[in-house]
Amino acid sequence: MKPEMLQDVLFPGLNLVVRQAVVADDGLMIDATGCGPPGACPQCQHPAARVHSRYWRRIAGLPVSGHRLIGRLRVRRFFCDQVRCPRRTFVEQVAGVTEPRRRSSTAARAAMRAVAVELGGRPGARLCAKLRLHGRRTTILGQLTAPPVAARAPRILGIDEFAFRKGRTYGTVLVDVESSLPVDVLPDRETGTLADGLREHPGAEIICRDRLMAFTKAIRQAAPEALEVADRWHLLQNLSTAVEKTCRRHRECLRRPVGAETIPPLATHETPLLERVRRRHAEVNELASTGLSLSAIGRRLQLDRKTVRRYRNKDLAELLASAQDRGHGVLDPFIEHVQRRFQAGCTSSMQLYREVFALGYTGGYHVVNRYVAAMRKGVAIPVHAATPSPRDITSWIMRSEETLSPLDVAQLETVRNACPEIASACDLAREFTDMLRHRRGHLLRAWIQKAELGGPDAIGIFADSIRQDLQAVTAGLTLSYSSGIVEGHINRIKTIKRQMYGRASFALLRARVLLQP
């Protein structure tokens, strides 16, 4: 290909004249000369008139047909003839190709910047190598600069937290709800940090937020004239937690012993499982009070970290109730048969093991022997009818009635008849969700009064928290605004954060979040 044709393909409309093109190994070397008019001094803007010298400059460009592109540009250095200008000489710049102190073309830097925004440093460098771009890790990261934050905040601002490390360190993201674009990322979720940001960038008329108290205080300090809107999804989540607590506290109402007239009454003595639960709960909480981490406690007690967290975060009564629900595992379906045969006079563990094995029991003999020994002592836990878990009951209550199957409806009705407290929680929860779905915020005060006076304790606590945040919750149950857009950005931040494996700085994370569309 002739140099003139190559010039039209590689540098169309630019002030360059291609002299030669050489292919060497996997690279394409282009020799070109600048031919534009003399430029102006970058300091005093006075046009140049005299050439000082010429020299070769190497510029990496976009790859061509799988070949790396290196441009050798012969550029001119000009005199600045202004006496008062401190600059004596300057180098011409080819518009659209070169910039001062840059070794890559404008197009190549734009490509590296796009790669850096999507992938970051090391992954971006690996991709650049495959694409034949001259981009090292530090060069790629140098292209990332967070855009300036607008002087005024958007009219509708969304605020939410995200975890740098779950349970330990958090940040805050601010999003323009109308345009669905991130506005800024803050390094923590403290009241002072958010308040400073709102003062520096005023103008928000409506602020959508979750129910974190630090955000509420910051908004009241820095933007008291803005209308706060509590997010509906978080309200439903808080209500669901309150309903599940009620179901767990009243799970005894749901237990119905099978054949109660032939089963020994539940003794006051504890089983080994319940004793172990009590001991572990005491040990974990005693060590946690000394400031030890979950991992350190787990190593000391030889427990999994998740098990330690469960014993630390849950009440003892809830753990004991869960242990009672667990029963005897594989023996549960056959306990009724074992108890009936024991009452009939068959007290041999081996004989009972043979009988249940013939019925399909897949466990070991020691399980049957341990349960028979407990019956001899009068401390065996009687068999219970299958009862739905608190989480299942909560799901039936929180879902719309039209989405429930006939079996779910029947089971929920059985639960309501068995426990008045759960029935009350169900009625209050469905009344609240109806207000939320149909935007009937004007009924909220009456609901709060009803929940505080006649509802279960957990629902009353939830209602009291709403009363303390009444204006924002009423707006959330009345207006169409929500933090749904912000939650989408939280998921995107999680993806970006995990790509960086915790090695990069907050500044790089912020730049990638704000630069990605």
The predicted pLDDT at position 386 comes to 61
Rounded Cα distance, 195 and 406, in Å: 51
Tokens found for residue 26: 């996997």
Contact 438, 396 (CB under 8 A): no
pLDDT category, 260, cuts 50, 70, 90?
A: very low
Return d(Cα 175, Cα 188) in angstroms, integer: 16
pLDDT of residue 268: 42
pLDDT reported for residue 436: 93
Q: Per-residue confidence at 261, pLDDT binned at 50, 70, 90?
A: very low
At residue 263, does pLDDT exceed 60? no
Average pLDDT, the chain: 85
Category of 167 on φ-ψ map: left (φ > 0), alpha (ψ -120 to 50) or beta: left
Kindly indicate the confidence band of residue 430, based on its pLDDT and cuts at 50, 70 and 90.
very high
For the CA atoms of the chain, what is the radius of gyration?
35
Q: Which residues pair with 149 in a beta bridge?
A: none
Question: What is the structure's pLDDT at 378?
Answer: 75
With beta carbons less than 8 A apart as the criterion, state whether 72 and 31 touch. Answer: yes
Token digits of residue 416 = 């309501």
319 or 53, greater pLDDT: 53
Q: What is the mean pLDDT of the segment spanning 89-102?
A: 85
Residue 72 tokens, joined: 């050798």
The better pLDDT of the pair 16, 353 is held by: 353
Q: For residue 259, what pLDDT band results from cuts at 50, 70 and 90?
A: very low
C-alpha 107/C-alpha 110 separation (Å) is 5
Tell me, what's the pLDDT at 352?
A: 92
What are 121-160's pLDDT values in tens digits? 888 888 888 888 887 888 888 888 888 899 999 999 999 9
**pLDDT-derived band of residue 267, with 50, 70 and 90 as boundaries?**
very low
**pLDDT tens digits for range 447-503:** 999 999 988 999 999 999 999 999 999 999 999 999 889 999 999 998 888 887 666
Residues 42/54, Cβ–Cβ less than 8 Å: no
Residue 354 falls in which region: left (phi positive, over 0), alpha (psi -120 to 50) or beta: alpha
Q: What pLDDT does residue 7 have? A: 66
pLDDT band (50, 70, 90) for residue 71:
confident
3-state SS string for 188-256: CCCHHHHHHHHHHCCCCCEEEECCCHHHHHHHHHHCCCCEEEECHHHHHHHHHHHHHHHHHHCHHHHCC
pLDDT for 34 equals: 80
Would you say residue 92 has pLDDT above 80?
A: yes
Task: State the average pLDDT over residues 189-207.
Answer: 93
User: Which pLDDT value is given to residue 202?
Assistant: 92
Confidence of residue 184 (pLDDT cuts 50, 70, 90): very high
318 by DSSP, 3-state: which?
Answer: helix
Contacts of 150 (CB under 8 A, 6+ apart): 183, 201
Torsions phi, psi of 437, nearest 5? -70, -30
CA nearest neighbour of 90 among 106, 109, 75, 73 = 75
Q: What is the pTM of this model?
A: 0.69
Tokens for 401?
Answer: 């009635």
Q: What is the mean pLDDT of residues 21-49?
A: 83
Taking alpha carbons only, the member of 378, 376, 374, 367 closest to residue 334 is 367
Please give the backbone phi and psi of residue 89, each rounded to the nearest 5 degrees, phi first: -135, 160
